[in-house]
Chain A
């Protein structure tokens, strides 16, 4: 069987053979992470390009349009053309900007979300670093985007950018709470923070956590959409109210970094949703006869969840700021606390104190 673990073994075996040929076997510990980082960056760039194309196609067909169909087959190379245009564009900077934060903000926005990919298990053993505090790490590292957005808004020296940054800070801090609370029941059930461990628990238990934890799944997807600053929670960059929000004054490559960061945030949160609620690399029960490798199952589920997030964006109208805060504090947080309470009670009743 051609699994993700086998691929990793073959590739690392080949690499170590190549090191031996060149005579740098001693440096393997230093070179391996670099190669891993490059591979991950290449994968995520191509995947984000595909997602941008997919988003444009999804939105087009939802509005009875065709979408990009000129550059390459089915318009697949449209995003490549856009990327070339963005990178070769003049980088227009405001004169009175705060220079260093202005330069750092897009880098932080990109790195903070990209680092979340480190602990995502694509297949059994196909993970860059299987941290035993994986979920905690992801929640912590993706929280850095709020710093990037605030920095970008402040250093642009533009009132709309600053307003967007402040709104974003309020939003992300508010929705971080239900996001974490919706994950808590799963951690209580499995007794582990490692993402691979959670998938393995689902494999042993024989069901995915979306079935007992549908409320948690809905809360998680909603808060993850808000965390990624996507519509209907895109008030930090609401085009009709705030021009472009925090990235008003950014152009060219720096804008591309924010754009890439936003999409990677979608990928990371969807990947976490797949891992926690949809059984990660496990095959779909009634399609088990297909014998696809685990990472293919993972990608199929990932694209499905991302489609859901895209459908949110092109279906729901944007929330007002007060509605956003109401929804976060008065609906999502009480519901997630209630969910924790009910889950804990039911699990205690069913399995007693020694559940794990």
Chain B
């Protein structure tokens, strides 16, 4: 029996190697199986609720920021990286005058966005290339953080369809 098992092992081993070769060759010949996204030229759409950058919401109709300088965000911030000042206007309402967020110490925990009761701070998904050449550029003021909400936010169902990564074909 020993000699038969010897040849049987050789043939089954050879067969297994051929199966392995057929799998890799299938992938090699199927050029559509490539899943690489070449980043600067090709970009995957990000999910609508991905947390890429913190922005100050600007109300285009009223021509002012939503922020009323209640300082809740500055108190919620664990790193104390938000500095803002406000002023009481003639009509008795408070308005923000200067807003500074130091992104070099910000950890993007989102506590400020949660603490905001006036829909003034938000996470946006589209602006995710946040690298800068100088550390000072990370200290952003209200002009840099100005963001106008789009008229019609994308429905979650539509977004889901776009973000499906092409499935690997074959095998």
Contacts and interface: CB of A to CB of B under 8 A. Distances in A.
B27 interface: yes
12 contacts: A61-B34, A62-B25, A64-B27, A64-B36, A64-B168, A66-B34, A311-B24, A311-B28, A315-B17, A315-B21, A315-B23, A316-B20
B27 A218 contact: no
Contact of A65 (B10, B17, B23, B36): B36
Contacts of B35: 64-65
Nearest to A61: B28
A63 B27 contact: yes
Interface residues of B, number: 17
Contacts of A58: 28
Contact of B34 (A64, A314, A316, A331): A64
Contacts of B38: 66
B72 interface: no
Contact of B20 (A63, A315, A331, A335): A315
Contacts of B31: 61
Interface in B140-169: 168
B36 A66 contact: yes
Contacts of B20: 315-316
B1 to A, nearest CB: 17
Nearest to B36: A66
Nearest to A308: B21
A61 B168 CA distance: 12
B14 interface: yes
A61 B23 CA distance: 12
A311 B36 contact: no
B117 to A, nearest CB: 48
B21 A218 contact: no
Contacts of A314: 24
A349 to B, nearest CB: 22
A319 to B, nearest CB: 12
A311 B21 contact: yes
Contacts of A316: 17, 20
A331 B10 CA distance: 8
A61 B28 CA distance: 5
B33 interface: yes
Interface string A290-307: 000000000000000000
Given A311-B21, A315-B21, A62 B27 contact: yes
